[in-house]
Amino acid sequence: MALTGLLLYSRSLVSMLFLGRLGRLPLAGGALAIGFANITGYSVLSGLAMGMEPICGQAFGARRPALIGPVLHRAVLLLLAASLPISALWASMRSLLLLSGQDDDIAAAAQAYVLASLPDLLLQSFLHPIRIYLRSQSITLPFTYCAAAAALLHLPVNYVLVSVLRLGIRGVALASVCTNLNLLFLLLVYIYSSGVHQHTGALDLTADLAIPSCIGVCLEWWWYEIMVLLCGLLLDPKSTVASMGILIQTTSLIYIFPSSLSFGVSTRVGNELGANRPDRASRAATVGVACGAALGVLAFGFAVAVRNAWARMFTADASILALTAAVLPIVGMCELGNCPQTAGCGVLRGSARPRTGANINMWSFYGVGMPVAAGLAFWGRLDFPGLWLGMLAAQGTCVALMLVVVRRTDWNLQAERAQRLTGGPVDAGTAVVVVVVTNEFDEKQAADSDNAEICDSFDSLKIDQLTAPS
């Protein structure tokens, strides 16, 4: 999964390189457009798709793969429906940016980029659910192969659209659309040629999981991209917005590894809970968070080591280089908290607790991080570094809360919830015992009662499901 993440990241890296070669204005406009698109579009689609992850993971662990297929279908329809209002919002992007005080030239460049990216909403509505659909069944290599093939085509497509056809910033956006189209086509070919699609069932994708998952993802994504918007209000907006775009690309590269770990932890925890093995789920959660902490240390070392050279890959502008070098160590400190808390998010997704993750993100990023960032950047006169110090405060709060939640998890209770979620089988022997004890039948009455009486008594107790021990 880490290799897949690197392949997907390579596409955004190539896009940023082409934007940087077009000049400071296209780089700033592209960074602002990507931030706006993430806030209003991609985060929403990704978050809604996350609602299917606990269902699919636990259903596969419970050896009920027939329940996975319909969840994919419903998730795609849900994301397609969500894309309609997002498209309308993107069409009015320039006006909204000007109302928020952004530079007119940057807003115009951003509008051009985001309008060319509109078809990507349709493609992402399929790609997000398909990726989770395959990952929940531990099917990862085919996605990696498809991503590699699409990534190989991304560079020549960018070259043709930007350098040959001279489409400028629109060409960079259209190249990303073409790459995602290639990826979707290859995935569909694999799914239908391999027979993976032959799943049937009736499990629903409930709003109880989809909406909190969406909120949790959006809250974190939005915080990063709100910082891009705030950069437009600082002393040198073109330099700070461009530098923020480079730094977000840096965090995106680092994020590949904890996010891949998070996906693996989520799948493993979901599978173990679905199989009614709470001890193994607890062990997977503990190991996952510990590995996340180790990744955080490595990420900090990387950010400090490349602070003076990293931005040179994207631009030669002296002011952008200086801003990026000054803030990269703070970015590394943020990753000390971000990596383990990302692994913790995987634990919460795997145990079907997206609401808890959403609450943690809300209080960490908006109750703590946002006031600190605004206070330091504008009132404390720290300008650009102040925004990232606010991020540091948010990540520190988030990881502390996440560790408390994971540590206090009742894994036996989560295993019982998993059985209810996946429609686990009811053991007849267990039903008889409960009926006898609760209704105070004597041994003779229990022995004489037939199956119909047992079912009637069982229903009268208003017990949804009883799961036999594994």
Give yes or no for a contact between 386 and 380, defined as CB atoms under 8 angstroms apart: yes
Provide the whole-model pTM.
0.68
Using alpha carbons, select from 315, 172, 331, 317 the residue that is nearest to residue 248. Answer: 331
* CA separation for the pair 75, 373 (Å, rounded): 35
CA 89 – CA 87 distance, rounded (Å): 5
Q: What is the dihedral of CA 356, 362, 363, 364, to 10 degrees?
A: 100
Long-range interactions of 391-394: CB distance < 8 A, separation 24+: 391/223, 391/224, 391/227, 391/330, 391/334, 392/330, 392/333, 392/334, 392/337, 393/368, 393/369, 394/223, 394/364, 394/365, 394/368, 394/369, 394/370
Look up residue 451 and give its amino acid.
Answer: N
Tens place of pLDDT for every residue, the chain, 470 residues? 677 788 877 888 899 889 988 988 898 899 889 888 988 889 889 888 888 887 787 877 777 777 777 778 888 888 999 999 999 999 999 998 888 888 899 999 999 999 999 999 999 999 999 998 888 888 889 999 999 999 999 999 999 999 999 999 999 999 999 999 999 999 989 888 887 666 534 344 455 666 777 777 778 777 877 888 788 888 888 888 888 888 988 888 898 899 889 988 988 998 899 888 999 999 999 999 999 999 999 999 999 999 998 888 888 888 989 999 999 999 999 999 999 999 999 999 888 888 898 899 899 999 999 999 999 999 988 999 999 999 999 999 999 999 999 999 999 999 898 888 776 553 433 333 333 333 433 443 444 444 433 334 333 333 333 333 33
